[in-house]
Amino acid sequence: MDVMRLTAVELGRKIASGEVSSVEVTQAALDRIEQLEQDYNCFVTVEKEQALAQAEAVQKRIQAGETISPLAGVPVAIKDNMCIRGGLTTCSSKILSNFRPAYTAEAVVQLQKAGAVIIGKTNMDEFAMGSTTETSYYGETKNPWDITRVPGGSSGGSAAAVAAEEVPYALGSDTGGSIRQPAAFCGVTGIKPTYGRVSRYGLIAYGSSLDQIGPLAKDVTDCATILELISTHDKKDSTSVNREDRDFTAALIDDVKGMRIGIPRDYFGEGIEADVKEKVLAAARVLEEKGAVVEEFDLSLVEYAIPAYYIIASAEASSNLERFDGVKYGYRTEEYTDLHNMYKKTRSEGFGPEVKRRIMLGSFVLSSGYYDAYYMKALRTKALIKQAFDKAFEKYDILLGPVAPTTALKLGESLSDPLKMYLGDIYTVSVNLAGLPGISLPCGYDKHGLPIGMQILAKAFDEQTMIRAAYAFEQSGSYKRPTTLTERGL
């Protein structure tokens, strides 16, 4: 039995029943990482000894008859912008290349309580700024489906690690599509929860009003189970919302009869690849055949989402990244003449080009004379986008569309044209601006054999309806998950 072929929930059951031990599964994951990392570069750090020690500890608890969680003993990878006490946490940036935090992110704490075995930290776009995982200080991550292509970003390391079956599941963060887009490019499933559903405590901030932690895994069942474990009210996070409706696995029902599904026409216009459009609309027809009521409508304001998002996100980034100055923690330049020179040289040497670009853009839109013209206008646009979604959800239970206009791009294509990279986020950023939940799941393949992702959105804190629709599509069998490594090209 190749345990790495199993889903996280399947592995959890086998560990609980004694068919396989957590130590054996953890060792299998470590062996696979050692075998594939040279090709894919999914990880920044791999903690072999610590992972095996965690596995031994949780195995003893299971053997003692303790019921911990459905994922007890199952290995997990954590995106490298989530703090783990004493562990290297770099945000894939030179400026944090030696940073070891004194606390652990709340979402990771919840997984530790659930008996998860943390294998290591995954590669990402530097400070989560990018859509390809090419801006990392530690080198680009490659897509397991085709190593000449990007895995998406910024959670590309987490998505690629799951796709390559180095780990059964991983945590990522989503500021403007950074879970959903790499999930689509790598043929896995990812959930961006409602803003406030999962604590941001211990997540190194990019855009504080937009960031949200979520799971990446092989299927909807895994993602619902993981989300159930990490969703909690946290007093340490002022944006954490106290809600009791966290039973997401109860929504794993193959029934969409009468569900009202809206298809935004705006998402299928100019720029979308024919294969992506065809497969996403075919997925909508599958749900229609299962009894859902599907209807096209005009969402409006779609063309304003990209400029509003990048103004707001960059403004927040310029403020959040101000703390990295070489004084308190992280990298400090070796030679400098005075304090101001030390700040300047540390940041010049420590930050990469994309991070510098967004800091400068953010500083510009917040500057005197431009604040009202750009930042305030972007905030008003954000409010209008939220209103447009609210109006849509008065009529529809969920919205369905593509995750990205294309499948995985060739390495280097976006870096040469940052504007092209920004425009690739057109279907994902609105969800973060409106604080809504979204799930990305594979729905077919393009002419190159690359996976295509579709996106299901729901109103705030209605992850259950979103999960039910995604699960119903998955159960239809319309998308065949490859069953052998040869089918995956691995």
pLDDT digits (tens, 9 = 90+) for 166-218: 999 999 999 999 999 999 999 999 999 999 999 999 999 999 999 999 999 99
Note the pLDDT of residue 369.
Answer: 87
Q: Region 359-369: what's the mean pLDDT?
A: 94
Predicted local distance difference test score (pLDDT) of residue 480 = 77
Instruction: Report pLDDT digits (tens) over 324-356.
Output: 999 988 999 999 999 999 999 999 999 999 999
Catalytic residue among 178, 240, 314, 430: 178
In the predicted structure, residue 485 carries a pLDDT above the cut 70? no
Calpha distance 414→366 (Å, rounded): 27
Question: Which pLDDT tens digit goes with each residue over 375-430?
Answer: 999 999 999 999 999 999 999 999 999 999 999 999 988 777 777 677 789 999 99
Catalytic annotation, pick one of 21, 22, 93, 154: 154
**For range 350-366, the mean pLDDT:** 96
Can 79 be counted among the known catalytic residues? yes
- The pLDDT, as a whole number, for residue 265 is 95
Name which of 71-75, 270-274, 351-355, 476-480 the model is least confident about.
476-480
Q: What pLDDT shows up at residue 490?
A: 55
- Residues 224-242: what's their mean pLDDT? 97
For the entire predicted model, the pTM comes to 0.96
Predicted local confidence at residue 489, as pLDDT = 55
Q: For the sheet with 451-458, list strands across it.
A: 43-46, 117-122, 75-79, 169-174, 212-217, 189-192, 438-445, 451-458, 398-402, 260-264, 293-297
The b-or-e profile of 238-248 (16+ CB within 10 A means b, else e) is: eebbeeeebeb
CB proximity list for 426: less than 8 A, separation 6 or greater: 271, 302, 305, 306, 405
pLDDT, tens digit, 9 for 90 and up, residues 43-78: 999 999 999 999 999 999 999 999 899 999 999 999
Closest to 289 in 3D by CA, of 259, 330, 312? 259
Burial class of residue 258 in the structure, from the number of CB atoms within 10 Å of its CB (0-12 exposed, 13-18 middle, 19+ buried):
exposed
- Mean per-residue pLDDT for 108-131? 98
- 148-168 per-position pLDDT tens digit: 999 999 999 999 999 999 999
pLDDT at residue number 300: 85
**3-state class (DSSP) for residue 418:** helix
Q: How many CB atoms lie within 10 A of CB 347?
A: 20
Q: Which of 14, 79, 192, 218 is catalytic?
A: 79
Other CB atoms within 10 A of residue 24 CB? 16
pLDDT at residue 410, rounded to an integer: 95
Is 142 considered catalytic here? no
pLDDT of residue 483: 58
Indicate left, alpha or beta for 111 from its phi (over 0: left) and psi (-120 to 50: alpha).
Answer: alpha
CA–CA distance, 27 with 7 (Å, rounded to integer):
16
Q: Which two structure tokens, joined as six digits, stand for 60?
A: 């003893």
State the Cα–Cα distance between residues 384 and 326, nearest whole angstrom: 40
107, containing H or E segment? helix 106-113
Residue length, the chain?
A: 490
Q: Say yes or no to pLDDT of 234 above 60.
A: yes
Question: For the chain, how are helix, strand and coil distributed in percent, rounded to 5?
Answer: 45, 15, 45
The pLDDT score that the predictor gives to residue 487 is 58
203, 205, 209, 212: CA torsion to nearest 10: -30
Q: Which secondary structure element, helix H or strand E, spans residue 304, and what is its range?
A: helix 302-320
The percent of residues in the chain predicted with pLDDT above 70, rounded, is: 98
Query: Which two three-digit tokens encode residue 355?
Result: 């991070």
The radius of gyration of the chain from alpha carbons, rounded to an integer in Å, stands at 21
